[in-house]
Amino acid sequence: MTRSGSLDRIDALLSGITDPAFTAVIRAEPLAISGTPVLAYWMQSRSNDWRTLNNIGSITTVLIRGYFRLVESTNVRESVEADLWDAAFQIDTVLRSDANLADNCTDSNVGSATFSTEPVGNALYRAVSVPFEIMIYEDVSITP
């Protein structure tokens, strides 16, 4: 089990989404976006959750966000809403298909998707955000 392996597996799973077809998967919160739609993911939080005499387990939350550029055309804006819903479904589906991230974590949990309008650089984007919890049961060893 490795933390970097977990991130690599998330990248591979998200890169496999074809509907909607994302132009890129970025392992960082974007400061600018050159093409859309794009997926990005980054660390949101980490907590020590349970403890035994020998180790401590952890839960790390990764925020996954899909960005769709807003435009003035009503038809395009309506299609973006459908793409947002499809993206939420696809993110959920691919992450649940490999709950232990190719044996790089003990378990994982896909949270509830939320939808918003997000500014990035000088542009506005419709966004779908999905929290993803990664659980590693024996993450920190305790030395007596």
- Tell me if 103 sits within 8 A of 3, measured CB to CB: no
3-class state of residue 100 by DSSP: coil
Calpha distance 11→74 (Å, rounded): 32
Grade residue 65 by pLDDT with cuts at 50, 70 and 90.
Answer: very high
Residue pLDDT, tens place only, 89-131: 999 999 999 999 998 888 999 999 999 999 998 889 999 999 9
What pTM, to 2 d.p., does this model score? 0.87
Higher pLDDT, residue 48 or 124: 124
Proportion of the chain above pLDDT 90, given as a percent: 57
Calpha distance 35→22 (Å, rounded): 9
Residue 40: the pLDDT is: 96
Give mean pLDDT, residues 31-54.
86
Calpha distance 103→2 (Å, rounded): 9
3-class state of residue 11 by DSSP: helix
38-62-97-11 Cα dihedral, nearest 10 degrees: 50
3-class state of residue 78 by DSSP: helix
All domains in the chain, ordered by first residue = 3-141 (3.30.70.1700)
